[in-house]
C-alpha cells in the first residue's frame, strides 16, 4: 500500500456540505437520471447532465484523462466516471465529493472516494500530480481564484490542474440551488461559471500558467501548470 493509499484509508470523512447532501441531487445520483438543474434567484435554469455523468467516460473525457500525470485528485467527482476510468487504467486516483450518494456510487463502481470538500484537510496535500476540475466544478464555492489557489496547494511543485471551462463566454458568481423542475429544491449556495476567456486571469492570480487549451466536441478545457 502506498503512503497516499494508507493516508486515504486512515482519514475519516467529515459531515458533507448541506447544499449537495440534500435531495434532489442525491436522488438523481441514486437513480442515474434527471431532469436536474441549478436555479438562479431570477428563475434562470442551468441543466445538469446527470445521465452523462453517471455513464462511462466519453471521448471528450478521454482527452482529459490522457493528460493526467502522477496521482490524480478528482474534485467534485460526482458518480465517479473519471475515477473509474483512471482506476481501470491502473492510475492512482482519489475522488472527493460532499454528496454521500456520489461517493457511494463511486465506491460501488470500484473507485476510491471520500465524502469531503476540497477546502477540508485532504490526504496527500502537496503531493498530487493532477487535480481535476471537470463538469463545471471550477464553480465550487463561488470563488474561482480561491479554488485555484487551493488546488495549487494540493499539487506537487510543477503539478497541474485540468479545468473544464463553461461553454459560453461567461464570468459570473451567483447564488443557486439544485432544482428538479418538479417542485423539489435544495438550499441556496454560492456558485460560479467561468468561460475559457476569463479563466486565464484567475489562473495567473492563483499561481498557475496556462500550458494548453483545447476543445473536444462542445466542451472546452485548459491545462494549468503550477508555477514553481
Determine the Cα–Cα distance for residues 163 and 223; give it in Å rounded to an integer.
7
Residue 223 CB partners (closer than 8 Å, separation 6+): 67, 160, 162, 210, 211, 212, 213, 214
pLDDT at residue 18, rounded to an integer: 52
pLDDT at residue 15, rounded to an integer: 38
The range of the structural domain enclosing residue 78 comes to 3-226
Tell me: pLDDT of 32 over 50. yes
Cβ proximity of 164 and 136 under 8 Å: yes
Q: Over the stretch 114-158, which tens digit does the pLDDT of each residue have?
A: 999 999 999 999 999 999 999 999 999 999 999 999 999 999 999
Determine the Cα–Cα distance for residues 28 and 35; give it in Å rounded to an integer.
8
Residue among 113, 131, 11, 142 at smallest CA distance from 75: 131
Tell me: pLDDT of 21 over 90. no
pLDDT at residue 22, rounded to an integer: 52
pTM: 0.91
Into how many domains does the chain fold?
A: 1
Determine the Cα–Cα distance for residues 209 and 221; give it in Å rounded to an integer.
14
In this prediction, residue 91 has a pLDDT band, given cuts at 50, 70 and 90, of very high
Q: What is the CA radius of gyration of the chain?
A: 16
Do you know the residue count of the chain?
228
Q: Over the stretch 38-84, which tens digit does the pLDDT of each residue have?
A: 999 999 999 999 999 999 999 999 999 999 999 999 999 999 999 99
Cα of 94 vs its chain's centroid, Å: 12
Q: How far is CA 136 from CA 14, 38, 89, 172, 197, in A?
A: 24, 11, 24, 12, 15
Task: Pick the most confident of 12-16, 91-95, 168-172.
Answer: 91-95
pLDDT at residue 96, rounded to an integer: 98
pLDDT at residue 99, rounded to an integer: 95
Q: Characterize the bridge pairing of strands 155-165 and 128-133.
A: parallel
**Residue 198 is part of a domain; what is its CATH number?**
3.40.50.150
Amino acid at each position: 500500500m502506498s503512503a497516499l493509499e494508507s493516508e486515504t484509508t486512515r482519514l475519516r470523512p467529515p459531515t458533507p456540505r448541506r447544499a449537495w447532501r440534500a435531495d434532489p441531487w442525491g436522488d438523481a445520483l441514486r437513480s442515474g437520471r434527471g431532469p436536474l438543474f441549478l436555479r438562479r434567484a431570477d428563475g434562470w435554469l442551468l441543466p445538469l447532465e446527470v445521465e452523462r455523468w453517471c455513464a462511462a467516460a466519453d471521448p471528450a473525457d478521454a482527452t482529459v484523462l490522457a493528460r493526467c500525470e502522477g496521482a490524480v485528485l478528482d474534485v467534485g467527482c460526482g458518480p465517479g466516471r473519471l475515477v473509474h476510468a483512471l482506476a481501470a487504467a491502473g492510475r492512482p486516483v482519489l475522488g472527493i465529493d460532499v454528496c454521500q450518494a456520489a461517493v457511494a456510487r463511486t465506491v460501488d463502481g470500484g473507485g476510491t472516494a471520500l465524502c469531503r470538500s476540497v477546502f477540508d484537510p485532504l490526504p496527500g496535500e502537496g503531493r498530487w500530480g493532477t487535480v481535476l476540475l471537470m463538469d463545471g466544478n471550477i464553480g465550487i464555492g463561488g470563488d474561482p481564484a480561491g479554488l485555484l489557489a487551493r488546488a495549487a496547494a494540493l499539487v506537487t511543485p510543477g503539478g497541474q490542474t485540468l479545468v473544464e471551462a463553461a461553454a459560453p463566454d461567461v464570468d459570473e458568481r451567483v447564488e443557486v440551488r439544485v432544482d428538479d423542475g418538479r417542485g423539489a429544491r435544495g438550499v441556496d449556495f454560492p456558485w460560479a461559471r467561468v468561460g475559457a476567456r476569463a479563466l486565464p486571469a484567475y489562473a495567473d492570480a492563483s499561481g498557475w500558467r496556462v500550458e494548453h487549451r483545447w476543445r473536444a466536441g462542445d466542451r472546452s478545457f485548459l491545462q494549468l501548470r503550477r508555477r514553481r
